[in-house]
Amino acid sequence: MYSSTIVRLYGIEKAPTIHYNEKKLTYPAFFDEKGLLAIIRLDSCGYRFVHPNGISIIRPHGSGDYAFVLFKKKSEVTIRGERIVVDSDSFVLFQPDTPHSYAQVELPFVNDWFHCQGDELMHLLAELRFPLDTPVPAVDPMLISRSIMELHRVQKQGGHLRDLILDTDIRALLMKLSNLHELSQHPERPGRYIRQFSELRDELYNTPQSHVTVEMLAERVHLSKSYFQHLYKDIFGCSVVTDMINGRLELAKYLLKNSTLSVSAIAASCGYEHETHFMRQFKKFVGITPSQFKART
C-alpha cells in the first residue's frame, strides 16, 4: 500500500500487474488519467564533466526537455535574461521552454547533469513544490552526484527493466531533493544543520583514509558527541560510524578492482592501521574477503 500522497498523486492503491516488453510483472508503476503507464524518460546524463578551458551553453528557446544541472564550481547563469552568479554545489532544474545559458566563473568548469521528459513530470514537480528555473544550494551534493552516476550506469547497462528503473530513480532523486530543501528551510528543525553535516559527510567519502573521530566531527559543528550522532542519523538515516566504514570500503573496493596494490597496501591506503581489522570489517559488510572480491573482478 502507498501513502495518501502517492495515491492522490498517481491514482494507485496497490502495485498493479502490467506487461512491459512482453514480460509480466508486478510493479509500483504510475499511471496517467487515461490509465496509461506514465514513464519519466531519461534523455541523457553526465557526471563529473570537467572542461579545463571552460564552456558556454546557450539555449535561447530552452532545451526542449527538463534540464537538471549541478554546478560544482561557481558559475554564471542567465535565466530569462536575468544574470545570476551561483555558488559551487548549487543546482537548477530548467523547464523545457525556459530561455537560459550558463558559463564558468572559475576554471575548470565542472558539472553533473541530466535531461528528462514525460507528461507526468509537470504534475510531479508541482506536487513536490520543486523549485524551477532558480538556483538552489545543494544540501547534499554527494547525493546528487551519486544519483546521476547511477542513472548513467543503468542507462548504459540496458535490460528489459531499464526504463522503469530510470523512471523510479529520477522520481526518487526529485523527492529526496524536495524533502531536503524543505527541511533546510526550518531553522528550528535539524534541517538547519544539513549543509554543515553534508560537508562533513562529503569529507568522509572523499578522504576516507583520514583518521577522523566522531568527537572531532562533533567539535567542528560545536555540538556534543551524543547530540551530533543523534542529528547525523536523523538527517541521513544512518550513523556517522556507518558512513565512515562505507567510505573506507568503497575506496577499498575501487582499489581492489582497479589497482595492483596488495591487500595490506590497500588497507593502509584506506586508513586501517591493521590489515586484520580491514579484512574482518570488509568480510562483515561486503560478505566476502578482499581477496575473493579481487578475484571476482
Q: What is the arrangement of strands in the sheet containing 56-59, beginning at the earlier edge strand?
A: 56-59, 100-104, 75-79, 82-86
Residue 76 and residue 57: Cα distance in Å, rounded?
Answer: 11
| Amino acid, single-letter form, for residue 90 | S
Do residues 100 and 77 make contact, with C-beta atoms less than 8 angstroms apart? yes
- Percent of the chain at pLDDT exceeding 70: 85
Average pLDDT value for the chain: 86
Do residues 272 and 248 make contact, with C-beta atoms less than 8 angstroms apart? yes
Residue 236 and residue 240: Cα distance in Å, rounded?
Answer: 9
Q: Name the pTM for this structure.
A: 0.63
Do residues 185 and 227 make contact, with C-beta atoms less than 8 angstroms apart? no
Lowest mean pLDDT among 129-138, 150-159, 201-210, 250-259: 201-210
Total number of residues shown for the chain: 297
The CATH class for the domain spanning 41-184 reads: mainly beta
- 3 pLDDT band (50/70/90 cuts)? very low
Sequence spans of domains, the chain = 1-38, 41-184, 188-297
Residues 6+ apart with CB under 8 A from 61: 97, 99
Q: Is the dihedral of CA 126, 130, 131, 133 positive or negative?
A: negative
CATH number at 188-297: 1.10.10.60
100 closest CA partner among 132, 148, 61: 61
Averaged pLDDT for residues 66-94: 97
Q: Which of 10-14, 150-154, 231-235 has the highest mean pLDDT?
A: 150-154
Residue 66 and residue 82: Cα distance in Å, rounded?
Answer: 19
